[in-house]
Amino acid sequence: MRLKEPIENKVSRRYSLSILDDVIILHAGRDEYGNAVPALDILGQPPIMNGVTLKYSAFDGIHLYKPEDSFIIENSVVADNRGHGIFINSSVSQVTLSEMKIRGNGGDGVHFRTTVIFPPAFVYWLWEEQIYPVRRSHVQRREQRYVQACEQVFEVASWTGQVLTVNFMGFSSDISDPNHASRIDVYDGPTDSSRLLASVPIVNNTFPESVTSTRQKILLKYRPRIHYDASFVVEIVANQ
C-alpha cells in the first residue's frame, strides 16, 4: 500500500495562464490624457513572456508590480524606451531574465525595487477632547498600484460654538492640469451627502484658499489618481 505524501511536504506555486509569445510592441505608453505610462504594465503575477520585442515606449518598457511568485522573461528585446527598460517592484525577488537584449533605454536597463506599502492618508480619528490645530500629510508615488480614496471626519464639541477651518499648507504633484489631478473634497458635515464646500485639485506648488465649515463637523475625502505622484499637507483649525 502506497502512503500518501504528507501535505506539509507540498509547495504551492503561483503562475499565470497568460502567454506573450512572439509579440512586438512599438511606440506605446500614452494614457487617455496623453501622459507617459509603461508600455506593458503588469499587476500581480506576470504572463509567460518569450520572444517579446518592446521598443520606443514613452515611459518604462515593462513595469512589473508585486508579482506573487518567481517568473521568467526570455529571448526578448527591450530597447530605446524613454524610461527604464524593465522596472520590477517586488518583495519576491525570484526573477530570471534569460537571453535578453536590453539597451538604449533612458533610465536603467533593469531597475529593481523592493515593494513598499504606503499607509492611507488619514489614519487617526480625532475625538472631541483632542486639541487643534492638527495637521495631516500624505505621499503617493507614481509606482504605487494600490491606491484608494480615504477620508476622515474632524469635529469639535457643540458647546464650544466653534467651527473648523481647513488650511492647505502645500501641494506637490507631477500633474499640471487640475481636471486630471488627485483631489481633496471638503464637506460641511460628517458625510459626503453634506454640502460640498470645496473640491481642491492637488496641483504642484499651489496654495488654495482656506475653507471654513458652518457646523461642528467637517469631512475631508482624498480622491487619488493612480500612476501619478501627489503629496499634500493640510491643517485643521478650530475657531469662532
pLDDT of residue 240: 76
Structure confidence by residue, pLDDT tens digits, 181-198: 889 999 999 999 999 999
When the pLDDT of each residue in the chain is averaged and rounded to a whole number, the result is: 81
Q: SS in 3 state form for the chain? A: CCCCCCHHHCCCCCCCCCEEECCEEECCCECCCCCECCCEEEECCCCEEECCEEECCCCCCEEEECCCCCEEEECCEEECCCCCCEEEECCCCCEEEECCEEECCCCCCEEEECCCCCCCCCCCCCCCCCCCCEEEEEEECCCCCCCCCEEEEEECCHHHCCEEEEEEEEEEECCCCHHHCCEEEEECCCCCCCCEEEEEECCCCCCCCCEECCCCEEEEEEECCCCCCEEEEEEEEEEC
Q: Inform me whether the pLDDT recorded for 159 exceeds 70.
A: yes
d(CA 3, CA 197): 70
Structure confidence by residue, pLDDT tens digits, 196-226: 999 999 988 777 889 999 999 999 999 888 7
Structure confidence by residue, pLDDT tens digits, 138-150: 877 776 655 667 8
Which percentage of the chain shows pLDDT scores above 90?
Answer: 32
Q: pTM of the predicted model, to two decimals?
A: 0.48
Q: Inform me whether the pLDDT recorded for 125 exceeds 60.
A: no
Q: For residue 128, how many other CB atoms are within 10 A of its CB?
A: 11
Average confidence (pLDDT) over 63-80: 89
Burial (Cβ within 10 Å: 0-12, 13-18, ≥19) of residue 203: buried
